[in-house]
Amino acid sequence: MDKIYVTGMEFWGYHGVFPEENKLGQRFRADVTLNVSLKKAGKTDNLDYSVNYADIYNACKIVMEGEPVKLIETLAEKISASILGSFLSVQSCTVKIIKPDPPIPGHYDFVAIEITRERGE
């Protein structure tokens, strides 16, 4: 299966378990990998047979900048459901949510989760 990568997307959201996260907000990053056949797009040079990267970004933005949730796992589930529900040519997707600078004493890099979901699950 062919792949489309949309990586390094950055958003501001109010997600988290702690009240400060919900009040102050923080940066989040997302990477998405789509498994989709790109053969017809490559042969015809026609975007109609691919997936528009801007549309994927917007699907992620709606979730990431939308209603606050406690867990980044929930964000990943919502994004994968949106992509699989909206882009019928996508057979499966992998969504990675990165939380830079998590509120963990002594931890200054990031935490992340990654899920893969397939059409029909």
Which residues are known to be catalytic?
A: 99
Strands (E), the chain: 3-13, 26-35, 92-100, 110-118
Task: Compute the radius of gyration of the chain from its Cα atoms.
Answer: 16
33 forms beta bridges with 5, 94
Distance CA 94, CA 32 (A): 6
